[in-house]
Amino acid sequence: MVRSHWTHTALYGRSATSKYCSSLVLTSTQEPPWPVIIYNKDQLESLEKKLQDNRSLMTKEAKKAAKLEKKLKILTGGYQSRAASLNKQISDVHEQVEQCFVELNTFEGLRSQELQAIPRRIQQLKEEVQRQMDRQNRLQMKYANLSMDKQHLYIQGHIA
């Protein structure tokens, strides 16, 4: 069934009558029946013209936006380069801080190990000093004995 001047209230919820298009409503048992809009040649040309106008307007607006973006980039270029530089510096400092934390943890672990090892090392050094003193005393005694033996031999060689 073809109807002229289809009421848009039923289709779109607006109360207006379209003077420019005819609608074809297919009647069948399936729900809901969707209207199919059939345009005449003038309407189609008008819509194509609107589409072309909208495309050209969109192109103009895109060029204008690109021009503004370029201008904005020029105006904010110094800030952007400064921000990039500062971000790099912040990143470098952050890496240094992380490295310092790693080093701090490492040296704290070494300190702990060294504090535990100090008493054992002191004891080992005391034992080593005692051994060296005992050895020195033994060698001094041996030297004294050998010196006495030499003197006895010298005296005996002189006497005989």
C-alpha 37/C-alpha 60 separation (Å) is 32
C-alpha 42/C-alpha 51 separation (Å) is 14
Whether the upstream peptide bond of residue 32 has omega within 30° of 0, thus cis, is yes
Give me the pLDDT at residue 30, please: 56
Give me the pLDDT at residue 40, please: 84
**Contact call for residues 6 and 21 (beta carbons, < 8 A):** yes
Give me the pLDDT at residue 22, please: 46
**pLDDT tens across the length of the chain (160 residues):** 444 444 444 444 444 444 444 444 444 455 555 665 666 888 888 999 999 999 999 999 999 999 999 998 888 888 888 899 999 999 999 999 999 999 999 999 999 999 999 999 999 999 999 999 999 999 999 999 999 999 998 888 777 5
C-alpha 54/C-alpha 46 separation (Å) is 12
Give me the pLDDT at residue 104, please: 97
Give me the pLDDT at residue 76, please: 85
In the chain the first and final C-alpha atoms are separated, in Å, by: 162
The DSSP secondary-structure symbol of 34 reads P
**How many CA atoms, within 13 angstroms, populate the side-chain half-sphere of residue 111?**
6
C-alpha 22/C-alpha 37 separation (Å) is 6
Hey, what are 45's tokens? 């040309």
Global pTM?
0.40
